[in-house]
Structure 1
Amino acid sequence: MNDDLKALIRTIPDFPKPGIQFRDITTLLLDPRGLAAVVERMAALVDGPVDLVAGIEARGFLFAAALAVPLSAGCLLIRKDGKLPGATIAEDYALEYGQDRIAMHADACAPGARVLLVDDLIATGGTAAAAVRLLRKAGATVTQAQFVIDLPDLGGAHRLRADGLRVDTLVSFEGH
């Protein structure tokens, strides 16, 4: 159904390390019809009104901002800790080797705001799950997440579904 979009995403073998098949969306972003189709198709999948579209740094910002326009919603940025000025709230999460931390402005999300979480790709789901916890800590209602690409073998979409989210993706690639 989205084979036209999948064809616009190139695979770069052995990046960033041997054995990884990197799914590069920059080729999709270069195609105006492909980019417009992504936004249109993601907007069509939204279940109910949303107040904010939260994008995860950095490629998620592109899709969140573009999607916020047709949804008449604001765009909330979820960044690596230390990148936002002013008061922030943060959430730690585990990486393959170590920990990381994401943050958002403390006043970016009013309690009860309906938030759609968006990123370019869902792999293990660690960052997305941390983003959901962070948004909920701020009082948001987060019931949906959308991603352009799913890597189902890594289980991230399943992880978010187990946390009660509706997860939609446009294309999937087997393997890493």
Structure 2
Amino acid sequence: MPDLRTRLRVGFHWRGGPDVVFADITEWWRDPVVLRDLPAALSALIPGEPTVVLGPASRGTLLGALVAAHLGVGLVEVRKNDRVAEHGPRLYASRRLPAGYHEGGARLSFRRALVRPHDRVLCVDDWVESGGQALAIREMVTEIGAAWLGLACVVEDLGERDEIRGRLGVRALMTADELLDD
């Protein structure tokens, strides 16, 4: 039986053409063994005992829900461009991503009341490339006064961004370089 990392490699493909190449991970969600094993594997990456998991929409929310259920804690969805959040700054923690981020300056937000000052926060996502989303989420978490435990992700693609890796406490199951099609 192939291990989780092998299954992740088999279910991964670089797609696109000469101008645009993107990571296709959709086969991961079709593999019941990946769905079963990912929560425990991601949970084990970060030391400490989280009281809540944050997951950025959309795949971070999917993975975050699996990890939160595995840990027996709640999930807070970090939304993108939530119009309600734009009109309720006292109710929502919010940050705009840099214009150079691949989503062109999207706004991330979550309801402030869902992350409490005594919380120990684990952020979960599928892929970290620039760290832009996770840095914004970490700022919102620390603004509330909660403790940031780190970012657990399936794939780390930060390259030479050691300072960002350290600030976020990034731990990953594999690097992008390990996802080469055979």
Question: TM class by shorter-chain length?
Answer: 0.7 to 0.9
Aligned residues: 169
Structure number with higher relative contact order (C-alpha < 8 Å, ≥ 6 residues apart): 2
After superposition, the Cα gap between the structure-2 partners of 1:19 and 1:29, relative to the gap in structure 1 and judged at 3 Å, is same
Compute the displacement of 1:154 (Å).
6.9
Please give the residue correspondences for 1:103-118 in structure 2 after superposition, counting only pairs within 5 Å.
103-118=109-124
1:100 aligns with 2:137: no
After superposition, the Cα gap between the structure-2 partners of 1:58 and 1:159, relative to the gap in structure 1 and judged at 3 Å, is farther
Letter paired with 1:169 = A
Letter paired with 1:69 = A
Aligned residues of 2:45 and 2:172 also touching (Cα < 8 A) = no
The 2-side partners of 1:84 and 1:67 are apart by 27
2:9 maps to which of 2, 6, 23: 6
Please give the residue correspondences for 1:69-88 in structure 2 after superposition, counting only pairs within 5 Å.
69-83=69-83, 87-88=91-92
Please give the residue correspondences for 1:58-69 in structure 2 after superposition, counting only pairs within 5 Å.
58-69=58-69
Compute the displacement of 1:125 (Å).
0.8
Structure 1: which 5+ residue stretches go unaligned?
Answer: none
The 1-side partners of 2:109 and 2:146 are apart by 14
Structure with greater strand percent:
1
Runs in 1 of length 4+ with deviation above 6 angstroms? none
The 2-side partners of 1:112 and 1:19 are apart by 43
After superposition, the Cα gap between the structure-2 partners of 1:100 and 1:144, relative to the gap in structure 1 and judged at 3 Å, is same
Compute the displacement of 1:114 (Å).
0.1
- Give the SS at the match of 1:47: coil
1:18 aligns with 2:12: no
Deviations 1:101-157 (A, max 9, x none): 2111021111120000111110111111111111111221002111111223373xx
Compute the displacement of 1:72 (Å).
1.3
- Give the SS at the match of 1:104: strand
- Give the SS at the match of 1:96: coil
Structure with greater helix percent:
2
Structure 2: which 5+ residue stretches go unaligned?
Answer: none
- Give the SS at the match of 1:75: strand
Aligned residues of 1:88 and 1:103 also touching (Cα < 8 A) = yes
After superposition, the Cα gap between the structure-2 partners of 1:154 and 1:95, relative to the gap in structure 1 and judged at 3 Å, is farther
The 2-side partners of 1:159 and 1:131 are apart by 17
Q: Give the share of equivalent positions with the same residue, in percent.
A: 26
Letter paired with 2:171 = D
**With structure 2 as the length reference, what TM-score do the two structures score?**
0.82
Structure 1, 1-10 or 143-152: larger mean CA deviation? 1-10
Cα RMSD, aligned residues only: 2.3
Letter paired with 2:46 = V
Aligned residues of 2:64 and 2:125 also touching (Cα < 8 A) = yes
Aligned residue in 2 for 1:27? 27
Deviations 1:41-81 (A, max 9, x none): 11222312110000011110011000001211110111113
